[in-house]
Amino acid sequence: MSTETAFLQAGLESAPLPSTLFRFATAGSVDDGKSTLVGRLLHDSKAILADTLDAVARTSADRGFGGDKGGIDLALLTDGLRAEREQGITIDVAYRYFATDRRSFILADCPGHVQYTKNTVTGASTADAVVVLIDARKGVLEQTRRHLSVLQLLRVAHVIVAVNKIDLVGFSEQVFRDIETDVQKVARELGLGSDGVADLLVVPVSALDGDNVVDRSERTPWYTGPALLEVLETLPAADELEAELESFRFPVQLVIRPQGALAPDAVAAGLDVEAYRDYRAYAGQITEGSVKLGDEVTVLSPGHEPRITRITGIDFAGTELQEAAAPQSVAVRLADEIDIARGDTIAAAGTVRESTADLYASLCWLSPKPLREGQKVLVKHGTRTVQALVRNVTGKLDLATFNVEPASSLELNDIGHAQLRLAAPLPLENYLHHRRTGAFLVIDPIDGNTLAAGLVKDHPGDHEDERYVI
């Protein structure tokens, strides 16, 4: 082993904590520099290997990037499809990975073009944080407002705004402050920011040159906040927050019941065949909260009264755990022999409401086929899919005013409200407090395509939602 790798290994061994995962996505209008920013982050954090950089440099030169000055088109690090390279735009989300000493990052570079909003929603739906870019020369555009509305709708935990191409406005503080003021106004109108009150962090950057991306820049002396990467390294991840919630939730994915068909490798390793003959456990991923042996839980199954029982085992591939928390995938055993199947939910006792067939929701409509009243759709919630009837469309968001206006249909990229009647009751919960059990898909029963991202709202009369526009 060379001294260099030995040194590296010493570094690995002395790492104090295992790194944790953090997911972030980009958003913003076309050509604001999202892909360039992601490329810059990857490049400056040394996450690009030599052969990838060579390939990108060759393509940049072939395409005459940077004119006489030359240079590398960092956007090519994520714009990997042929069509994207030809048109110089992003069409679909690219996922890239890099790690610092503190955490491992999953980066989702999303498109800005309005036609590809569904892909941006895809990238943002799993993100712990989203960086919204704004071109310093253009300020807040309609597409910026659309993306910010989507992020508000999805309740993305952290939204950061990067005022990009600050090099093209002579590093002007005035330009930056004006945009910052506009952004804070939009954020207040939408109720964006942590718990809807704090200001957003707005950072002046040049994705092309690297100012305030990984390191703070001397060319913006008037900006005294952190560089982007510093922020991303320190924000808490969403599942970190979810694991701390009181309310254990566990949608059952499937029942593990080998009935004698035990895994031969487990048997060879000494598994007691007799002891496992009647083994029965419920497999799933904890969506929020945590659970310990002995905890009282409620089982919600369609067509049954809620049933109370106790947790007698938490299994993970042969290891018996004392406790587990979101987002762990485990299998739980229960004290009572009750009939449980995929689609049922196990929850901390006394923390769930009864299932309901009346669904009040916010929708982000992602299909060119519009939503109409009276239409039949499928709703996929947790581990269940049920038929649903669209009773009313109750309004849609006007991007210019952020008012919800009356509407009777939703078109591509609209954000609106609707009321649906489900063919069977579901354990619906308000998305505001339950990101996983408050989310659902609207699916086209004819071709199976996903039509919308759905977020459960409270029933009218429960006033939880009222301080929010959407």
Partner 1 sequence: MSTYTTEESTVEVAAAVDAPSAQRLSSLDTLESEAIHIIREVVAEFEKPALLFSGGKDSVVMLHLATKAFWPGKVPFPVLHVDTGHNFPEVLEFRDRTVERLGLKLVVGSVQEFIDRGELAERADGTRNPLQTVPLLDAIQRNKFDAVFGGGRRDEDKARAKERILSLRDEFGQWDPRNQRPELWNLYNGRHTVGQHVRAFPISNWTELDIWRYIERENIELPGLYYAHEREVFARDGMWRAVGEVSQPLPHEDVITKTVRYRTVGDMSCTGAVESDAYTVADVVVEVAASTLTERGATRADDRISEAAMEDRKKDGYF
At closest approach, how far in Å is the CB of 136 from ligand GTP? 8
What is the contact mask toward ligand GTP in residues 223 to 262, using x (rule: CB under 6 A)? ----------------------------------------
Nearer to Mg ion by Cβ, of 90 and 220: the residue is 90
At closest approach, how far in Å is the CB of 169 from ligand GTP? 10
Residue range at the interface with partner 1 (CB under 8 A); choices 64-72, 253-261, 353-361, 405-413: 253-261
The residue written with tokens 């790492």 in the block is 15
Tell me how far CA of residue 460 lies from CA of 163, 362, 442, in angstroms.
39, 13, 21
Query: Binding to ligand GTP by residue 134, rule CB under 6 A?
Result: no
Check if the beta carbon of residue 227 is closer than 8 Å to that of residue 215: yes
Report the partner that residue 223 touches, choosing among Mg ion, ligand GTP, partner 1, none (CB closer than 5 to 8 A by kind).
Answer: partner 1
CA atoms of 325 and 348, how far apart (whole Å):
12
Residue range at the interface with ligand GTP (CB under 6 A); choices 45-53, 92-100, 177-185, 202-210: 202-210
CA atoms of 159 and 183, how far apart (whole Å):
11
Q: Structure tokens of 188?
A: 């207040």
Helices (H), 70-172: 82-87, 117-125, 142-154
Check if the beta carbon of residue 394 is closer than 8 Å to that of residue 415: no
Q: Structure tokens of 453?
A: 């991202």
Report the partner that residue 33 touches, choosing among partner 1, Mg ion, ligand GTP, none (CB closer than 5 to 8 A by kind).
Answer: ligand GTP
What is the contact mask toward ligand GTP in residues 41 to 80, using x (rule: CB under 6 A)? ----------------------------------x-----
Query: Binding to ligand GTP by residue 113, rule CB under 6 A?
Result: yes
CA atoms of 470 and 464, how far apart (whole Å):
12
Which parts of 296-355 interact with partner 1 (CB under 8 A)?
A: 315-318, 325, 327-329, 331, 342
* CA nearest to 203, candidates 213, 193, 195: 213
Residue range at the interface with ligand GTP (CB under 6 A); choices 28-36, 291-299, 311-319, 381-389: 28-36
Report the partner that residue 167 touches, choosing among ligand GTP, Mg ion, partner 1, none (CB closer than 5 to 8 A by kind).
Answer: ligand GTP
Query: Binding to partner 1 by residue 100, rule CB under 8 A?
Result: no
Query: Binding to partner 1 by residue 15, rule CB under 8 A?
Result: no
CA atoms of 141 and 186, how far apart (whole Å):
11
Report the partner that residue 168 touches, choosing among Mg ion, partner 1, ligand GTP, none (CB closer than 5 to 8 A by kind).
Answer: ligand GTP
Q: At 163, which amino acid appears?
A: V
Q: Structure tokens of 428?
A: 């619906």
Q: Give the 3-state secondary structure of residue 450.
A: strand
CA atoms of 245 and 437, how far apart (whole Å):
13
Q: Give the 3-state secondary structure of residue 68.
A: helix
Binding site for ligand GTP (CB under 6 A): 30-36, 75, 89-90, 111-113, 164-165, 167-168, 206-208
